Amino acid sequence: MNLATGELLEKDPGKFNQAQALKDPQQSMALDASQDPAGIKRRSNLAEIYLVRDAQQKIEQVVLPIYGNGLWSMMYAFVALDVDGRTVKGITYYDQGETPGLGGEVENPNWRQAVCRQAGAE
């Protein structure tokens, strides 16, 4: 997805690496403080998203990549949203270098469920 326009692009997902795109000024953009509440400093121009469909091919969920600074490392995750775009259905961290305390907590099913409930309350 082109993050500037919202346009869905047909690209080979195996050829896009978000972490590498963030380091390339031609594939990412710097964020000023007003655009950057998470303190990530840059965002890639593209994002690989996933559409989860039911048996009739109707979209049930949209899965988006998210990332942000932890205490010791950049943390990468996927968040699954209901088609309403507001209801968080799940969150899974796939890359993070935090200590077992924080790193273990983001993998805790109770913590993940609490994030979904809290996000739905806002």
pLDDT digits (tens, 9 = 90+) for 31-52: 999 999 888 899 999 999 999 9
DSSP letter for 33, please. Answer: G
Please give the structure tokens belonging to residue 57: 């091919």
Instruction: Tell me which residue of 73, 67, 72, 59 sits closest to 91, measured CA to CA.
Output: 67
Report the mean per-residue pLDDT for the chain.
Answer: 88
**Please, which residues bridge with residue 53 across strands?**
59
Domain boundaries, the chain: 1-48, 53-122
Q: What is the pTM of this model?
A: 0.79
> pLDDT tens digit string along 97-118?
888 887 778 888 888 888 887 7
Among all chains, which residue has been given the structure tokens 């309350």? 121
